[in-house]
């Protein structure tokens, strides 16, 4: 315990030292804080206003559980990436493991540092909604005890699961020369599958209600759906049942105590497994990563017919062989198509959107929104194009290759990633549309053109934004992404642009359908206007990069 506390102090001082953030990092923290407050306020208002409605339906416990499950999933996904970046693939492991402390103490102290960052995001999700729901529905005192336990232990549970999940991924990667690339690929597939399975259970819950059903039968069916969704991660549901005093096993205080015991027992078991298994495996696995694990590439691998091709290969290898960067930069290629297909499947059920052209177009735009937000807008390869180089940027300033060529290599790689996202996403959406008989060829073609232009514009503007003030003083990839406002503002701008695009398409389609019975015309006008704007944005951003590349490169130093 003494070694753990001492090592934790060392790790936290390094992890959060002021010199590592600087003005760029402070701006990023302020943006994240403002965004978190805004989202939290929205969630709080939403659940506060609808509290009595949830109480009428008898789903206060279930809505509480859904909030906590959402936080669990967020921490699980990003916590796993943090474990790879800061625990297993951190450059300071060799030094820390040489100190006279147990490897388990080093591991747990690093895990605790990652937990402190993730607990902030889980608090943004849990605290406002749960607190507003509890106050508006007059919950018992146990509800607020539950809230405190959730804030502290929901991210703990997720970190324990992430810790266990990381073990086989690191072990699997150890059999390959390019360990970072292999672990990244497995990690992306794993979480895409997890999200797909979870969303499938969420949307496949039986919501059928007979046409002649009474109000009580309708409410019972709706409550059954929410119970099914909440029960997917049962220990979290058990904690919600304790808080709302609605135990399912036995009633009363005894039943609530059982629910609490289920949750706390899960935390204890997860902690024990993490200490016993992960701590012992960490020392061997972490040291293997520092022993030239992914640096055995032959110089011949970089030989190309031109400097541009060589630079593109360099960019790809630097990105793909670092698990943290690769997950953040390539995750959208898999996750966006999965989400777009799920949205298409869940909004195009029998009798839902199959009747008219307007319905088909509106249904299509739901999947299109996921391509824009979860795919194009999460292309972190573009938002960290220069930042990823870190201190090695000094070589970019000295190699005898024009800055415009170096920048063009980054643009090509980022556009290839965006293109893969668009290809996989629209392929899946088109297959679903054909199966559900809602395919509209014109909508598909115009969507692909618009997505391609938006993706290329996003890449150009993001690279230009990062080039103006990159974060080059990072020690771990996690710092380059988390403490960098260059990764935040482009995503927010893309989200706003997506809302505008989808709203324009839907509104014009519905208006032309209602007034002229010509929804395709309304859709065509909307897409044409958006394509023109996206094309203008693309050419302006390309021109800006071309004339300013040398100036911004010259200003930078490491």
Range name among 254-268, 295-309, 312-326, 457-471 with the lowest pLDDT average? 295-309
Here the contacts of 75-78 (C-beta below 8 Å, separation 24 or greater) are: 75/118, 75/119, 75/121, 75/122, 75/154, 75/155, 75/158, 75/159, 75/162, 76/158, 76/161, 76/162, 77/191, 78/118, 78/121
Give the whole-angstrom CA distance, residue 533 versus residue 101.
59
The pLDDT score that the predictor gives to residue 297 is 46
Residue 301 has pLDDT above 60, yes or no: no
Instruction: Name the token pair of 63.
Output: 């809505």
User: For the residues of 231-288, what is the DSSP string, one character each?
Assistant: GGGHHHHHHHHHHHT--SSS-HHHHHHHHHHHHHHHHHHHHHHIIIIIHHHHHHHHHH
- The pLDDT tens digits of the residues spanning 427-482 come to 989 988 888 777 888 889 999 999 999 999 999 999 999 998 888 877 777 677 76
Which is nearest to 104 in space by CA: 225, 3, 232, 246?
3
Q: pLDDT higher for 328 or 384?
A: 384
Which residue would you say has higher pLDDT here, 375 or 344? 375
What number is the average pLDDT over the span 126-149? 91
Residue given tokens 């490897």 in the structure block: 103
Q: In sequence order, which residues have a C-beta less than 8 Å from that of residue 318 and are 6 or more positions away?
A: 325, 388, 389
pLDDT of residue 536 exceeding 90: yes
Average pLDDT over every residue of 251-272: 85
Query: Are 419 and 339 in contact, with CB atoms under 8 Å apart?
Result: no
Q: What is the pLDDT of residues 192-207, one digit of tens each?
A: 666 666 666 655 554 5
**What is the 3 state secondary structure string of 80-137?**
HHHHHHHHHCCCCHHHHHCCCCCHHHHHHHHHHHHHHHHHHHHHHHHHHHHHHHHHHC
SS3 62: helix
pLDDT(236) > 60: yes
User: Do 167 and 281 contact (CB within 8 A), yes or no?
Assistant: yes
Distances (CA, A) of 133 to 18, 220, 321, 494, 558: 37, 21, 44, 31, 50
Q: Is 178 helix (H, G, I), strand (E, B) or coil?
A: coil
Q: CA-to-CA distance for 119 and 126, rounded, in angstroms?
A: 10
Confidence of residue 178 (pLDDT cuts 50, 70, 90): low
Number of CB atoms found within 10 A of residue 194's CB = 15
Confidence of residue 346 (pLDDT cuts 50, 70, 90): low
CB of 76 closer than 8 Å to CB of 162: yes
Give the predicted TM-score (pTM) of the model: 0.71
């Amino acid at each position: 315990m003494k070694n753990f506390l001492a090592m934790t102090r060392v790790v936290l001082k390094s992890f959060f030292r002021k010199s590592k953030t600087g003005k760029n990092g402070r701006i990023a923290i302020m943006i994240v804080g403002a965004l978190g407050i805004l989202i939290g306020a929205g969630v709080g208002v939403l659940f506060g206003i609808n509290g009595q409605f949830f109480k009428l339906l008898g789903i206060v416990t279930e809505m509480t559980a859904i909030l906590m499950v959402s936080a669990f999933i967020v921490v699980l996904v990003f916590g796993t990436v943090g474990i790879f970046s800061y625990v297993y693939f951190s450059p300071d492991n060799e030094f820390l493991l040489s100190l006279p402390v147990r490897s388990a103490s080093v591991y747990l102290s690093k895990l605790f540092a990652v937990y402190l960052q993730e607990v902030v995001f889980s608090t943004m999700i849990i605290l406002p909604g749960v607190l507003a729901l509890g106050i508006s529905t007059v919950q018992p005192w146990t509800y607020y005890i539950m809230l405190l336990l959730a804030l502290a232990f929901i991210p703990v549970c997720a970190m324990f699961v992430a810790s266990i999940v990381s073990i086989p991924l690191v072990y699997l990667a150890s059999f390959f020369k390019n360990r970072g690339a292999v672990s990244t690929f497995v990690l992306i597939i794993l979480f895409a599958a997890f999200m797909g399975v979870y969303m499938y259970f969420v949307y496949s819950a039986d919501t059928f209600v007979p046409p002649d059903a009474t109000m009580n039968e309708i409410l019972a069916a709706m409550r059954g759906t929410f119970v099914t969704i909440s029960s997917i991660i049962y220990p979290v549901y058990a904690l919600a049942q304790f808080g709302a005093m609605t135990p399912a096993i036995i009633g009363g205080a005894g039943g609530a105590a059982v629910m609490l015991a289920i949750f706390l027992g899960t935390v204890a078991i997860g902690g024990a497994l993490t200490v016993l298994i992960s701590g012992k495996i960490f020392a061997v696995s972490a040291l293997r990563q520092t022993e030239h694990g992914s640096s055995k590439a032959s110089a011949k691998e970089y030989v190309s017919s031109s400097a541009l091709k060589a630079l593109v290969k360099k960019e790809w290898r630097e990105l793909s062989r670092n698990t943290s960067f690769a997950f953040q930069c390539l995750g959208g290629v898999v996750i966006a198509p999965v989400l777009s297909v799920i949205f298409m499947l869940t909004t195009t059920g029998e009798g839902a959107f199959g009747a008219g052209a307007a319905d088909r177009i509106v249904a299509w735009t739901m999947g299109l929104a996921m391509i824009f937000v979860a795919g194009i807008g999460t292309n972190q390869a573009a938002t960290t194009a220069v930042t990823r180089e870190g201190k090695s940027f000094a070589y970019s300033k000295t190699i005898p290759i024009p800055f415009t060529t170096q920048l063009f290599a980054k643009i090509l790689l980022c556009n290839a990633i965006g293109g893969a996202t668009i290809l996989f996403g629209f392929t899946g959406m088109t297959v679903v549309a054909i199966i559900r008989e809602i395919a509209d060829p014109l909508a598909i073609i115009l969507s692909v053109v618009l997505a391609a232009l938006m993706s290329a514009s996003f890449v150009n503007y993001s690279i230009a934004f990062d080039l103006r003030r990159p974060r080059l003083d990072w020690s771990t990839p996690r710092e380059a992404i988390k403490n960098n406002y260059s990764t935040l503002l482009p995503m927010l701008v893309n989200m706003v642009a997506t809302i505008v695009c989808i709203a324009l398409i839907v509104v014009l389609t519905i208006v032309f359908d209602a007034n002229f019975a010509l929804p395709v015309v309304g859709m065509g006008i909307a897409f044409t206007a958006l394509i023109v704007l996206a094309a203008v944005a693309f050419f302006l951003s390309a021109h800006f990069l071309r004339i300013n590349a040398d100036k911004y490169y010259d200003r930078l130093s490491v």
